[in-house]
Amino acid sequence: MGRSGAFCRGGMAGKELKFRDLVIRCRSCRRFDGGAPVDKEAVGNLVAIASCLPSVRNLQPLRYIALTERAECEAIFPLLGWAGYLEEWPGPQEGERPTAYLVMLNDTSIAADSSCDSGIAAGAILLGATAAGYGGCIVGSVQKDSLRQQLCIPAQYQILMVIALGQPAETIVIDKIGEGESIRYYRDHNDIHHVPKREAADVLLRFH
């Protein structure tokens, strides 16, 4: 069991955040207010942020599909897997599901691999969502063949991940842990989501 920190994930619309606070508040949110849509402009702003980021050899192979309509979001939801450590939790229920998604693609006609670019972009998109008062979650467990068929994605585009977006509807805290303590996230009896994170001193190395 880690030592619970004082950082909670909540809505921050209209408030400026210092960068450190923004990073701390930027957690993987998996439960959302299903009645609070994320509009196309907000999602477009996140793509605009991503399009300004560094890219290996500046090839810029990443492409995105934005889904903001209710029917689109409902159709994509069954193709996603949620929270591997919460083995008995099937994912967000109706009323707490994401209200927008970004499907991140790699254009293989430009680059065979975009693993560096995609990590930078995904992180920045979540930070941008947090700064705008939203929450997000990078979903890597995706039924890619079904998603490709559903969205009519041509073969040249590799499906990398899906980023779920919405208004957060859960409390998430960071637990500071020491070396050897469990890194598995969990929910306590108050339904608060705990995310164990190592101390900076434990990840900053020096070899003599």
Q: Strands of 100-107's sheet, edge to edge?
A: 62-67, 100-107, 157-166, 135-139
In tens, the pLDDT along 21-52 reads: 999 999 999 999 999 999 999 999 999 999 99
Residue 15 has pLDDT above 70, yes or no: no
Work out the pLDDT band at 16, boundaries 50, 70, 90. Answer: low
Residue 29 neighbours by CB distance under 10 Å: 25
- CA–CA separation, 132 and 111 (whole Å): 31
**Mean pLDDT estimate for the chain:** 92
| pLDDT score for 179 | 86
Contact indicator for 104, 147 with CB cutoff of 8 Å: no
Instruction: Report the SS3 class of residue 142.
Output: strand
In tens, the pLDDT along 75-87 reads: 999 999 999 999 9
Work out the pLDDT band at 7, boundaries 50, 70, 90. Answer: very low
- CA–CA separation, 200 and 119 (whole Å): 21
Cα dihedral value 142, 146, 149, 153, nearest 10: 10
Q: DSSP string of 88-135?
A: T--SPPTTSS-SEEEEEEEETTT-S--HHHHHHHHHHHHHHHHHTT-E
- CA–CA separation, 207 and 41 (whole Å): 48
Phi, psi at 140, each rounded to 5°: -100, -20
Could you tell me what percent of the chain has a pLDDT over 70?
Answer: 92
- CA–CA separation, 163 and 103 (whole Å): 6
Task: Identify the residue whose tokens are 């919405």.
Answer: 166
Work out the pLDDT band at 8, boundaries 50, 70, 90. Answer: very low
- CA–CA separation, 140 and 163 (whole Å): 9
Q: Give me the domains of the chain, ranges plus CATH numbers.
A: 3-203 (3.40.109.10)
Contact indicator for 99, 40 with CB cutoff of 8 Å: no
Residue 4 has pLDDT above 80, yes or no: no
In tens, the pLDDT along 154-197 reads: 999 999 999 999 999 999 999 999 988 999 999 999 999 999 99
- For the segment 44-68, the average pLDDT, to the nearest whole number, is 97
Beta bridge partners of 174: 195
DSSP 150: H
What does pTM read for this prediction? 0.89
| Alpha carbon of residue 164 to chain centroid | 6
In tens, the pLDDT along 87-107 reads: 999 999 999 999 999 999 999
